[in-house]
């Protein structure tokens, strides 16, 4: 079975087979390294319905390659045909799947069996690469699978962080994570005149550069004159909102948000201690760095803070215009920096921390761009069917791989979600 079976014959190959094989090995090795600090008990925990066990992330990303790449070859025999039901996520066209909220009940297959599953599929993929068995369409599917696995690498970290935070012992995922002190200089603004601009990405695979279907087509939009904060909101600034009674002032909150605050008792960002002096991190409890970007905010909290600050959230078009042709790099605070937590920026001019550190909430609902076309076949289930209810975030986080994010990348989560590394950058209108 091929995800891109209707792709035109003239499509450019994403990468030569040898380059793609190397990239495959590197991405798969990182997932295994991220799981290395976990015990079998850790890897099975599911702390809420929206999260998944680490073991399931490792198995699901492996199932993707078995189902959609190896399974497309004639005569392929799966490692275990029953596992398709367990590790399918939401591909209805493939068949039924195990209920998402019950993934933490899957004590079998064991963690060791899942790791063995990964090794066996990787060996089969390596053999197929060596024999040059993948055609153009299959190489495109492999590239998608690698992008998909990079998404799950971040989810593995955010999900295990939530699970460990639920443990009264507050265990550290790793105690050796890097912390780089910095200083958040006074908030400054970068201004933009009104203009007609282009946002989005050319459709892949017609264009050789990978982008998800929800990023295309590239199209024109009008932005009024606006200003964008040169950095994300800091912990100290958000503490000011708390101390000023932000969580007790109904006029700052959307109606749905105020109801959530009352029902769930929100009074501070997720993972902050009651006295707002410490926060839980993947390195365990740490003192809150006042200069680092605030994170683990819901859309509700980001919107309320912006209103309190006399500003607003940027639209995704404003954010992308500000990012322009800037390319993220491993020098930004992505997963490669081995901090796995937002870090304070060094002082300097111009926009900073657009990439890495925290995903930045925008005021844009997650919906289709004008002229949007979902990918054909099963691949069409990847993004389009979720365009109802979530809001768009931009820029990547400290848990994102640097080569996975780009200026046109559209992440999306529901307004109450706060277990992701999500923060806020302010915008305001200009006369």
Residues 23-59: pLDDT tens digits? 999 999 999 999 999 999 999 999 999 999 999 999 9
Tell me how many domains the chain contains: 2
- Report the C-alpha gap between 202 and 217 in whole angstroms: 6
Q: What are the average pLDDT values for consecutive 10-residue runs of the chain, which has 431 residues?
A: 33 57 97 98 98 98 97 94 94 91 97 98 97 94 97 98 97 94 89 97 93 96 98 98 98 98 97 98 97 98 98 98 88 95 85 96 97 83 86 98 96 97 98 92
Which class for 219: exposed (0-12), middle (13-18), buried (19 or more C-beta within 10 A)?
middle
212 lies in some domain? yes
pLDDT tens track for 258-307: 999 999 999 999 999 999 999 999 999 999 999 999 999 999 999 999 99
Together in a domain, 228 and 352: yes
Name the 3-class secondary structure at 329.
coil
Count of Cβ atoms closer than 10 Å to residue 305 Cβ: 25
| pLDDT value, residue 17 | 54
184 lies in some domain? no
Together in a domain, 211 and 313: yes
Beta bridge partners of 196: 222
365 lies in some domain? yes
| pLDDT value, residue 16 | 52
Together in a domain, 160 and 249: no
Cis peptide before 217 (omega within 30 of 0): yes
Together in a domain, 87 and 193: no
Task: Using alpha carbons, list the distances in angstroms from residue 238 to 243, 308, 340.
Answer: 9, 10, 20
Name the 3-class secondary structure at 117.
helix
- Report the C-alpha gap between 413 and 298 in whole angstroms: 9
| DSSP conformation letters of 301-315 | HHHHHHHHTT-BPPP
**For residue 23, what are the contacts with CB-CB under 8 A and spacing of at least 6?**
15, 146
Together in a domain, 140 and 195: no
Pairing of the two strands 359-365 and 226-229: unpaired
| pLDDT value, residue 2 | 34
Together in a domain, 250 and 364: yes
Question: Which segments of 223-298 does DSSP mark as H helices, in order?
Answer: 235-243, 255-264
Q: Which domain holds residue 95?
A: 17-165
| DSSP conformation letters of 49-99 | TT---HHHHHHHHHHHHHHHTGGGSTT---S-TTHHHHH--S-TTT-----
- Report the C-alpha gap between 144 and 141 in whole angstroms: 5
CATH code for the domain in which residue 340 is found:
3.90.1580.10
């Amino acid at each position: 079975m091929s995800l891109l079976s209707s792709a035109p014959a003239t499509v450019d190959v994403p990468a030569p087979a040898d380059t793609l094989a190397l990239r495959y090995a590197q991405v798969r090795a990182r997932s295994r390294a991220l799981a290395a600090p976990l015990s079998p008990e850790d890897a099975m925990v599911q702390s809420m319905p929206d999260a998944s066990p680490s073991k399931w992330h490792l198995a699901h990303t492996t199932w993707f390659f078995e189902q959609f790449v190896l399974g497309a070859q004639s005569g392929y025999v799966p490692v275990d045909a029953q596992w398709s039901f367990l590790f399918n996520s939401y591909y209805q066209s493939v068949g039924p799947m195990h209920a998402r909220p019950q993934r933490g009940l899957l004590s079998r297959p064991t963690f060791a069996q899942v790791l063995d599953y990964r090794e066996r599929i990787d060996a089969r993929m390596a053999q197929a690469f060596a024999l040059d068995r993948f055609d153009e369409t299959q190489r495109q599917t492999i590239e998608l699978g690698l992008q998909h696995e990079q998404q799950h690498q971040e989810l593995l970290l955010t999900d295990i962080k939530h699970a460990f935070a639920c443990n009264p012992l507050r265990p550290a995922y790793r105690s050796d994570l890097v912390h780089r002190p910095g200083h958040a200089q006074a908030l400054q603004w970068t201004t933009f005149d009104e203009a007609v601009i282009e946002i989005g990405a050319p459709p892949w695979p017609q264009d050789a550069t990978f982008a998800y279907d929800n990023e295309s087509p590239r199209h024109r939009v009008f932005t009024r004159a606006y200003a964008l904060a040169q950095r994300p909101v800091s912990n100290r600034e958000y503490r000011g909102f708390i101390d000023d009674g932000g969580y007790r002032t109904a006029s700052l909150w959307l109606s749905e948000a105020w109801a959530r605050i009352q029902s769930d008792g929100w009074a501070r960002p997720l993972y902050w201690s009651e006295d707002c002096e410490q926060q839980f991190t993947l390195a365990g409890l740490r003192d809150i760095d006042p200069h680092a970007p605030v994170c683990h905010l819901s859309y509700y909290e980001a919107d309320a803070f912006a209103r309190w600050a006399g500003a607003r959230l940027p639209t995704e078009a404003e954010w992308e215009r500000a990012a322009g042709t800037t390319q993220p790099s491993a020098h930004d605070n992505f997963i490669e920096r081995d901090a796995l937590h937002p870090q304070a920026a060094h002082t300097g001019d111009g926009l900073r921390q657009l990439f890495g550190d925290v995903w930045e909430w925008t005021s844009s609902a997650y919906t289709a761009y004008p002229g949007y076309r979902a990918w054909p076949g099963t691949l069409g289930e990847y993004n389009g069917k979720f365009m109802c209810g979530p809001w768009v975030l931009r820029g990547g986080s400290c848990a994102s791989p640097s080569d996975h994010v780009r200026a046109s990348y559209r992440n999306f989560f529901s307004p109450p979600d706060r277990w992701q590394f999500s923060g806020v950058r302010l915008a305001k209108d200009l006369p």
